[in-house]
Structures are given as structure tokens and as C-alpha cells.
């Protein structure tokens, strides 16, 4: 079974004005689609066919750069679409809120740490909120299409929230102003989805 591009769970324009429709269309239909196509090309006819994406990422050092970049790209974007929503924003509730407060002291301190991780990731990459095995949460970032599911990358937990800080994610609307894009992201975070992933 080849890897497949997941549908966006909302229309291209539904995250406006925070992320514009054209950026979403190009990002999903071209960038993410290319990661899926290239991942399938890199795994076709190899013993990776039939393996789950998580299984591949957990052992990524055994595989080629093409598998790493495109497998990471497919995983990262599949997560990214789901943690945004036109009805997002605000703050998390319940167990996730408690875990954030326990680790960072307050939601605002967490917000500051995550935003700093996103803003200071040099070049292309991602900022993450991860769940560790003990239930603690941690913030980290990673270069390119790497993610903390890969051995030795970031904080080593399971990503439950991710922000794409590649220029292709924001350049049409924000140009070089990455901090403005990061600030806008807080208005569209789908905390219900993040909490669901925290609970898994």
C-alpha cells in the first residue's frame, strides 16, 4: 500500500486571514503531495514497502536521505493540517493544560518558549510540542523535515503540535516576517486535536 496524501480537513481559505488560501493550496497540493510522491518513489521495490511511516521514522538512520526528507515531510505535514482549525485559538483544557502548566509554569510561558523555538530555528524546520513517555510535555525544534520521532532529533517525544517554519509556509503573506506568522498561528491552533493526541 503506497503512502497517500491526506485531504485537508477544511477548505484552503478557512484559515484566513492567518494563513491565506493560496499558501494553503500550494503547501498541501504541491509541497506535501511532492513529499508523498517522492517517498513512494524512494520506497517502491524495497523492503520498506508495507512498513508503517512511524516504523520507518523510528529507524531512519538506516535509510537514504530521500526516505528521511520525504518520510519526515509526509509525517510532519499530515500532523500540521490537523492541529489547525478556523475555530481554533484560545488555550487548551484538561490534562493537556495541566501538563503544560506543570512543565512551563503557565500557558503564556509555554507560548513564549514555543514561539522562540520557532523563531530561532535557523533556515527551514519545525517547532514542536511533544509528549514524553512519562506524560511530561516538552518544546523543541528540528531542521529540514526531521522530527522527534527520529532517533536523536529534538526532545525525543511524540509530537502533538507542530509548526512549519519553512518559508513556503508563510512567504506569500508574511514575506520575511516569520515572527508575525508565528504570532498568527496561535489564533488557529486546534487544541481539541492536540489534547486528543496528548491523551493517546
Q: Indicate the pairing of strand 137-143 with strand 158-164.
A: unpaired
Nearer to Mn ion by C-beta: 24 or 195? 24
If one asks whether residue 146 binds Mn ion (CB under 5 A), the answer comes out as no
Please tell me whether the peptide bond between 21 and the residue prior to it is cis, using omega within 30 degrees of 0.
Answer: no
Name the closest residue to Mn ion (Cβ): 164
Q: How far is the CB of 32 from Mn ion (least distance, A)?
A: 7
127 — phi, psi (to 5°)? -110, 145
Nearer to Mn ion by C-beta: 32 or 111? 32
Q: Fill in the per-residue mask, 106 to 145: x = in contact with Mn ion (CB under 5 A), - = not in contact.
A: ----------------------------------------
Sites for Mn ion among residues 148-167 (CB under 5 A): 164, 166
Contact indicator for 163, 185 with CB cutoff of 8 Å: yes
Residue 2 burial (C-beta neighbours within 10 Å; 0-12, 13-18, 19+): exposed
Nearer to Mn ion by C-beta: 73 or 88? 73
Q: How far is the CB of 77 from Mn ion (least distance, A)?
A: 6
Q: How far is the CB of 145 from Mn ion (least distance, A)?
A: 8
Distances in whole angstroms, Cα of residue 82 to Cα of each of 14, 99, 128, 161, 190: 13, 21, 14, 9, 7
What does the binding site for Mn ion look like in residue numbers (CB under 5 A)? Answer: 164, 166, 169
Amino acid at each position: 500500500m503506497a503512502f497517500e496524501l491526506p485531504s485537508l480537513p477544511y477548505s484552503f481559505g478557512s484559515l484566513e486571514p492567518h494563513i491565506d488560501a493560496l499558501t494553503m493550496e500550494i503547501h498541501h497540493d504541491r509541497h506535501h503531495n511532492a513529499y508523498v510522491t517522492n517517498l513512494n518513489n524512494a520506497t517502491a521495490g524495497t523492503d520498506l514497502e508495507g512498513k508503517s511511516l512511524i516504523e520507518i521514522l523510528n529507524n531512519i538512520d538506516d535509510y537514504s536521505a530521500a526516505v528521511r526528507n520525504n518520510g519526515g515531510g509526509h509525517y510532519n505535514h499530515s500532523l500540521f493540517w490537523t492541529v489547525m482549525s478556523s475555530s481554533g485559538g484560545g488555550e487548551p483544557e484538561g490534562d493537556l493544560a495541566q501538563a503544560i502548566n506543570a512543565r512551563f509554569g503557565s500557558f503564556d510561558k509555554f507560548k513564549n518558549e514555543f514561539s522562540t523555538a520557532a523563531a530561532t530555528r535557523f533556515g527551514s524546520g519545525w517547532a514542536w510540542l511533544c509528549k514524553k513517555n512519562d506524560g511530561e510535555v516538552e518544546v523543541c525544534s528540528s531542521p529540514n523535515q526531521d522530527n522527534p520521532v527520529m532517533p536523536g532529533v529534538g526532545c525525543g517525544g511524540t509530537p502533538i503540535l507542530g509548526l512549519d517554519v519553512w518559508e513556503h509556509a508563510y512567504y506569500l503573506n508574511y514575506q520575511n516576517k516569520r515572527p508575525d506568522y508565528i504570532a498568527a498561528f496561535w489564533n488557529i491552533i486546534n487544541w481539541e486535536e492536540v489534547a486528543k493526541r496528548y491523551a493517546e
